Amino acid sequence: MNRIRTLTPITLLVGFIIALLAAPMATAQSEEEKLREYVRENSIRLVDQLNEIRELYDSDREAFYEAMDYALGEFVAFRRVAARIMGKYARQASPEERDEFVRAFRRSLYDAYGGAAVSIDSTDFELEVDSVKINPRHEDRATVNLSIITNSGERYGVAYSMYEPDDGKWQVENVIVEGINMGLAFRDRFEQEMQAADGNVSTVIDEWSADVGDIEGLEDAVEQEKNNG
């Protein structure tokens, strides 16, 4: 009886307002939880896939790159990463030059880090997703903080800047390792090379891809990224 009496219209109104206010919070939390799980699963999947293609690195480098491209293609927004690296010069580059830089950058990454990637064993480290924060100003952007803990006890802080395309899954668009903004580090390199090339974007892209041959599958991946926006 007492319980019924306490449910006055004012109580109901206050409860309703609290529920309304809490609803977006609950949605955001569940979105963040989903993203946390998505990042954790994808990180494990990537390491497993790298383990599977390890032998290709020595036997068939092109096949290895192709497999790496397949593994990373969905999880990394290479087109956005490349645009960030070009920075202000992206505006003066033609669409073809931007496409070319996406290809060159991907390939340069595989060249530089492919060897290191295959030398890592999934039992060498543990990966923990520490926190996930969807940007309160842009719900299609988020920051995911991770810790990589090696068997010897070293702990590295890594943060993914992530982006969710309208019609796709969350993708990594920047990585911050131990406080160092990797996208910015690559942008600095692009800037330096632009100065050395007297501001010629085409030259910089050509030189970036100087050691880069053709790779089957990259064309398709770039095309797919273009379609994803």
Partner 1 sequence: MQRLVFFALGSVATLALLLVTGWLAPPGGSERADAGGHYTLYAEFADAGTLKPGARVALAGVTVGEVADVQLNARGYRAKVRMRIDQSLDHLAIDSVAIIMTAGLVGEQYIEISPGGHPETLSDNDYIEDTQSAMSIETLIRRRIVRPR
Residue 183 makes CB contacts below 8 A (sequence gap 6+) with 81, 84, 85, 161, 173, 174, 175
Residues 61-85 as b/e (b if ≥16 CB within 10 A, e otherwise) read: eeebbbbbbebbbbbbbbbbbbbbb
Does residue 167 bind partner 1 (CB under 8 A)? no
| Distance, CA of 148 to CA of 157 (rounded, Å) | 7
> Using CB under 8 A, which of the segments 2-10, 27-35, 120-128, 150-158 binds partner 1?
150-158
Q: Taking CB under 8 A as the rule, which mask of x and - marks residues 56-95 in contact with partner 1?
A: ---------------------------xx-xxxxxx-x--
Q: Does 160 bind partner 1 (CB under 8 A)?
A: no
> With contact defined as beta carbons under 8 Å apart, do 205 and 98 qualify?
no
Three-class SS state of 169: coil
Phi, psi at 150, each rounded to 5°: -80, 165
By CB under 8 A, the residues from 189 to 228 that bind partner 1 are: 191
Q: Could you tell me the smallest distance in angstroms from the CB atom of residue 36 to partner 1?
A: 17
Which of 155, 226 has the CB closer to partner 1?
A: 155
Closest to partner 1 by CB, 8 vs 150, is 150
Q: Which is nearer to partner 1, 64 or 89 (CB)?
A: 89
User: Across-strand partners of 162?
Assistant: 142, 172
Cα(154)–Cα(219) distance, integer angstroms: 38
90, 98 contact by CB (below 8 A): yes
Smallest distance from partner 1 to CB 40, Å: 21
CB of 71 to partner 1, least distance (A): 26
Q: How many residues bind partner 1 (CB under 8 A)?
A: 28
Cα gap 23→168, rounded to integer Å: 24
Binding mask 176-195 for partner 1 (x = CB under 8 A): --xxxx-xx--x---x----
Answer yes or no whether residue 154 interacts with partner 1 by CB under 8 A. Answer: yes
**Nearer Cβ to partner 1 (93/117):** 93
Q: Taking the chain, what is the end-to-end CA distance rounded to the nearest angstrom?
A: 60
Using CB under 8 A as the criterion, which residues of the chain lie in contact with partner 1 when the complex forms? Answer: 83-84, 86-91, 93, 133, 135, 137-138, 141, 152-155, 161, 174, 178-181, 183-184, 187, 191
